[in-house]
Amino acid sequence: MRERTVTIREVAAAAGVSTATVSRTLSPDGAEGVSEETRLRVFAAASKMGYRANHAARSLKTRSSRTVGIIAPELTNDFFMDLAEGIAGELERQGYTLLVASSANSVEEEKKRVAMLAERMVDGMVVIPAGSRGDHLAARALRRTPVVLVDRLVEGADVDAVLSDNEGGAYELTRRLLADGFRRICFVGGDAAISTARERIAGFSRAMLEAGLHLNGETIRSGGMEVRDGYTGMGAVLESPSPPDALVAVNLLVHLGMERRLLEYRRRPGRVLPVIAAFDETAYTPFLPACRYTAAQDAAAMGKEAVRRILERIAERRTVEKSPVGRSPLAGEETGGERIIRLPVTIVRYRGSQEDRRRR
Amino acid sequence: MRERTVTIREVAAAAGVSTATVSRTLSPDGAEGVSEETRLRVFAAASKMGYRANHAARSLKTRSSRTVGIIAPELTNDFFMDLAEGIAGELERQGYTLLVASSANSVEEEKKRVAMLAERMVDGMVVIPAGSRGDHLAARALRRTPVVLVDRLVEGADVDAVLSDNEGGAYELTRRLLADGFRRICFVGGDAAISTARERIAGFSRAMLEAGLHLNGETIRSGGMEVRDGYTGMGAVLESPSPPDALVAVNLLVHLGMERRLLEYRRRPGRVLPVIAAFDETAYTPFLPACRYTAAQDAAAMGKEAVRRILERIAERRTVEKSPVGRSPLAGEETGGERIIRLPVTIVRYRGSQEDRRRR
DNA sequence: CTGTTAGCGCCTTCAG
DNA sequence: CTGAAGGCGCTAACAG
């Protein structure tokens, strides 16, 4: 009872037309130049026979897989998750699918994954870069496959990017703390190799300097972007002889680490605990006791925007290739350089939890 | 400067061999029956020319895409996240890649995604079913593409499945609460259409009955598996004239909703708040104030196990197809029916947070 | 509007 | 152990 796979030829025969007509009728970009009548005949035959186009054959011919790949440093991350959902949704709406790969925070792995996706003829790649350089990404982009960076910029890759307003978000976060009367404020977490961290530190610094506050060696405790870095960072803060009364966390993971450390510390009585303003927001943020403000990135929107860029680039490529004149010998892409988009962040205020608990 | 894509023929020419030899040498399952010498020559030529096999062409010929698809009701979910990481990791290790699709909690969408993946010739599918029936999944499985269910079972699809020990986990969770002296215990959340919920309710009921406790109409407040269901469930509990002193949450989302409701309620003084034992565990669980126990599922392990199953089925299929005798006319797969695997859960105890805060 | 005709790049018998 | 040859199923000119 094994069902053989039905081919376009059989459908053509059944409908009494040629394979070309069937192909045209069932084209993913709509049936153009096919009469209503034959269109119906073909549809009828195809659906009766349960015809499903062979994707590989189609790809081989068209050099397009209707697939977009995404490479992230890790999959287990709330930001990535929201991003992926945004991307997958937008993609599915356009008849594309999403290939997912993890670079495991390694540039080497990232290179391999890029190669793998390229081999699979993805029409575009969304990447959250693992390192500070992205020459391998640029190489791809300059050939056939559009690349769009998300969340972070890298050097050596002039490609499209969708980012949050990191500088502005950190600035705003710091301003809120200042407005609440805090003066001894420190920044926790960061990595000079990561553009996102640099921008956030810049925003923080600007707000502090504008407020006439001094930055000393302990004001900015970068040292990583992971949970453990927040944990140790908070440890250092708590040990400090003159501890700050408010902190800015570089991201979700560092924030989490900081709260964990605080959770342990809390047991010791008689000390005012610092308040935290942090980048990133999740469903669990209301439960983090020290958190007073967050700068919420709209990851889903970033995903959608990234897809839109990719699809635009794909369309451009098509028209360029179809245009009668070949590519100009001049260096640089004639389709208009890289474009960087900044999406705004939303500042969210949490009240209650911390104070509430203290009162009990 | 546009790099043309290098084909197998060019490599063959450069290495002074035939395309067949290159193909054999560069086969993904290792170069068999090629002399050491030619193998090296081919490798050298291929890498010098930057040859990358055209995946579509290969798929067209071999009818395998070295890709596994996953369909989940939603992507933004901690359980799914860990699962995906487990799957992607294991897959990459085997030279496969992962196609991700969301069914948006709709069986209709799920059907479409299944069709889409099938069209793309995925070698297997991992699915977390959206509904209670899975005839469309069985249909796939019986033809060419192995399917493995994760987390939930469905009716009408005798396919492999990887599940947690839901009954046992809920039983154990309830036992812990009983051991702590709680007697008025309610179960919150659930959906009769979802096997996971049924099993967890069964485990809860068993523990209660064994303890000689009575189940009345308010003991089990199913009514959904989402955050909002936990929220309203907890609302009802709090309004109850004789509120329970401990609760069992059916899953992560319901648990979250319950905690949210509690967070609001907390403001009113003078009432002992119930303790929660919940299925699922995340990095944020330590911050959920009412949580005393969780039953942690090992999602990454489930992912790995699912991949192992899929790959096994793929291998079986190959050998069956290669075997000289055709398929036996008898109904049923001769490769040994469906296999259901149950992975144990780990009970985690949280102490401190709740009590601590009360003390202040 | 529809049919004919070439391949896309690779794998895989079948000979040698 | 290696080479020659025939498609896999589909699309995209090019005619008609």
Q: Which residue is nearest to nucleotide D3 (CA to C1')?
A: B18
**CB of B44 lies under 7 Å from some atom of strand C:** no
For the cut 90, the answer to whether the pLDDT of residue A115 exceeds it is: no
Task: Record the tokens describing residue A309, joined without a space.
Answer: 């860029």
Interface residue B287 vs chain A (CB under 8 A): yes
Confidence of residue A1 (pLDDT cuts 50, 70, 90): very low
Task: Record the tokens describing residue A84, joined without a space.
Answer: 């992926």
Task: Record the tokens describing residue A121, joined without a space.
Answer: 């003829």
Query: What residue has token string 């009548």?
Result: A37
Pick left, alpha or beta for residue B212 (phi over 0 → left; psi -120 to 50 → alpha; otherwise beta): left
**CB of A27 lies under 7 Å from some atom of strand C:** no
Of B67, B76, B286, the CB nearest to A82: B76
Round to a whole number and report the distance in Å from the CA of B60 to the C1' of D6: 15
Confidence of residue A164 (pLDDT cuts 50, 70, 90): very high
Of B55, B102, B357, the CB nearest to A88: B102
Q: Do B56 and A56 touch (CB under 8 A)?
A: yes
CB-based contacts of B216: which residues, under 8 Å, 6+ apart?
none
Residues 53-82 of B with CB under 7 A from strand C: 53-54, 57-58, 60-62
Q: Per-residue pLDDT tens for A149-159?
A: 999 999 988 89
Amino acid A135 reads: D
CA distance B115 to B94: 25
Nearest CA in chain B to A142: B2
- HSE at residue A151, side-chain half, CA atoms within 13 A, is 26
The number of residues making up chain B comes to 360
For the cut 80, the answer to whether the pLDDT of residue A132 exceeds it is: yes
Which SS3 state, helix, strand or coil, does residue B278 take?
strand
Amino acid A314 reads: I
Work out how many CB contacts closer than 8 A connect A with B: 147
| Predicted pLDDT of residue A32 | 78
The number of residues making up chain A comes to 360
Which is nearest to A77 in space by CA: A262, A343, A280? Answer: A280
Query: What residue has token string 């790099």?
Result: B3
Determine phi and psi for B232, rounding to 5 degrees. -70, -35
CA distance B126 to B87: 9
Q: Do B256 and A286 touch (CB under 8 A)?
A: no
- pLDDT per 10-residue tile (average), chain B, 360 residues: 72 90 87 83 90 92 93 93 94 92 93 90 93 83 83 90 97 97 95 95 96 87 93 92 92 96 75 91 94 96 95 80 46 60 96 46
| A247 strand-pairing partners | A186, A276
**CB of B41 lies under 7 Å from some atom of strand C:** no
Q: What is the CA radius of gyration of chain B?
A: 26
| Predicted pLDDT of residue A309 | 93
CA distance A127 to A105: 12
Which is nearest to A73 in space by CA: A123, A120, A156, A134? Answer: A134
**Shortest CA to C1' contact from A15: nucleotide:** C2
Interface residue A347 vs chain B (CB under 8 A): no
Of B85, B118, B327, the CB nearest to A2: B327
Q: Per-residue pLDDT tens for A325-338?
A: 444 433 334 455 67
Residues A68/A122, Cβ–Cβ less than 8 Å: yes
Round to a whole number and report the distance in Å from the CA of A119 to the C1' of D4: 27
Contacts of A100 in chain B (CB under 8 A): 84, 88, 97-100
In the sheet that holds B124-127, the strands lie side by side as: A340-343, A160-164, A147-150, A124-127, A67-72, A97-102, B97-102, B67-72, B124-127, B147-150, B160-164, B340-343
CA distance A101 to A113: 7
The DSSP result for A63-95, as a single string, is S--SEEEEEES-S--HHHHHHHHHHHHHHHHTT
| Predicted pLDDT of residue A358 | 41
Q: Per-residue pLDDT tens for A255-280?
A: 999 999 998 876 666 678 899 999 99
Query: What residue has token string 């009412």?
Result: B290
Contacts of B60 in chain A (CB under 8 A): 54, 56-57, 60
Which is nearest to B275 in space by CA: B304, B244, B297, B229? Answer: B244
Residues A8/A25, Cβ–Cβ less than 8 Å: no
Which SS3 state, helix, strand or coil, does residue B293 take?
strand
CA distance A97 to A124: 11
CB-based contacts of B231: which residues, under 8 Å, 6+ apart?
B257, B258, B260, B261
Q: Per-residue pLDDT tens for A268-320?
A: 666 788 999 999 999 999 999 999 999 999 999 999 999 999 999 888 877 66
Q: Do B60 and A54 touch (CB under 8 A)?
A: yes
| Global pTM value | 0.89
- Interface with B, mutate which of A2, A74, A75, A117 (most B CBs under 10 A): A75
In the sheet that holds A346-349, the strands lie side by side as: A220-221, A185-188, A246-249, A275-279, A291-296, A346-349
Q: Per-residue pLDDT tens for A165-191?
A: 999 999 999 999 999 999 999 999 999
Interface residue A116 vs chain B (CB under 8 A): yes
Determine phi and psi for A275, rounding to 5 degrees. -95, 150
Strands B97-102 and A97-102: antiparallel
